[in-house]
Structure 1
């Protein structure tokens, strides 16, 4: 029997595989979502890094000027007459360093004054204030009225029982950060105090 001729319009191609098309579409969607998440992670990491760098720059890497102060003072000898004084002071000084690196300072001098007239000075030896700490040390100063002008108010201050004193000094040095970065910093000391003649003690000690 002769084979039947193929009817016009009859499609002999294999039927379309809808299941495979759905699987490919899902795979593409998963890849797209993964790429989107990856981009979001990278952006979040970049923002986090920027915040860390800003905080690091504003805290750890920011160099602050240390503070130099007379912390306490006492007298080893104390001689006061009706018109003169001669004292040996033991002053405890402090260099407060709030930086995240040591502050190394050079030799300097601390000078004491009575109403603007110099009455004594002492060497401040070079040293290092470690990071986030205070370097304390003692200096001994001989304070004398020998070179005061004759017009000084010493007599009236003796009568009041109070001698007003002041001290100044300037430290120069460098703050070292991360073992590589060095920043020059100078500190000016300006302190005022009173000597109570009756008790032979320092009072009202203030430093700027």
Structure 2
């Protein structure tokens, strides 16, 4: 009985950290300017039988290798077997260096803009008030922003 308990309850699994959904508000999407407001829900899913306490971090959103915007996630805790959700506002702004990028201009005019989000979240899972195990999570999500419908499409996180 003790071995089964130890192998199932005391096994620490890696939590998941990802973009869950997003909506958009178009502010300015005219060449060479691009500025859109994104309201995103970020989630930290804890599959463990103890809380996951994590440090603050920043989620960055990129177009290719170009930083488009970022959101701060505060220090917090995801309870046992729960998902801690954060609603963040991100200003997605294209730097002027992209004004001459024909691929960017084509994607904006086609109405589908590929973005990716990246972050690293570190913290500790606490089991039975006696065991603490450090766990770091990498967020790596890809998504397409449908500029015309102001919807998030093809969200994929791994």
Instruction: Normalising by structure 1, report the TM-score.
Output: 0.72
The structure whose RCO (Cα within 8 Å, separation 6+) is larger is: 2
2:30 aligned partner:
81
Query: Does residue 1:65 correspond to 2:23, yes or no?
Result: no
- Partner of 1:159, secondary structure, is helix
What is the CA distance between 1:160 and its match in structure 2?
A: 2.0
1:188 aligns with 2:138: yes
Equivalent position of 2:94 in the other structure? 145
Aligned-residue Cα RMSD (Å) equals 1.3
- Normalized per residue, which structure has more helix? 1
The structure that is strand-richer by fraction is: 2
Contact 2:25–2:150 (Cα < 8 Å) also in 1: no
Equivalent-residue separation in structure 2 for 1:128 and 1:76 (angstroms): 30
Instruction: Provide the aligned length of Structure 1 versus Structure 2.
Output: 157
Q: Which residue of 1 aligns with 2:153?
A: 203
- Residue in 1 aligned with 2:42? 93
* Structure 1 segments unaligned to the other structure (5+ residues): 1-51
Task: Name the SS of the counterpart of 1:153 in structure 2.
Answer: helix
1:183 Cα deviation from its structure 2 partner:
0.4
More moved, 184-193 vs 153-162 = 153-162
Residues 32 and 96, structure 2, Cα contact 8 Å, conserved in 1? no
Please give the secondary structure, in 2, of the residue aligned with 1:90. strand
- Larger CA Rg, structure 1 vs 2: 1
Shift of 1:159: 2.9
**Candidates 175, 178, 182, aligned match of 2:128:** 178
Match of 2:54 in 1: 105
Match of 1:13 in 2: none
CA deviation vs aligned residue, 1:90-142 (integer Å, no higher than 9, x gap): 11011100100000000000000012211111211111000011111111111
Distance 1:76 1:105 in 2: 30
- Kindly indicate whether the alpha-carbon contact (under 8 Å) linking 1:110 and 1:124 is maintained by their aligned counterparts in 2: yes
Q: TM-score, normalised by structure 2?
A: 0.94
- For 1:151 and 1:118, the matched residues in 2 are separated by 15
* Distance (whole Å) between structure 2 residues aligned to residue 56 and residue 123 of structure 1: 37
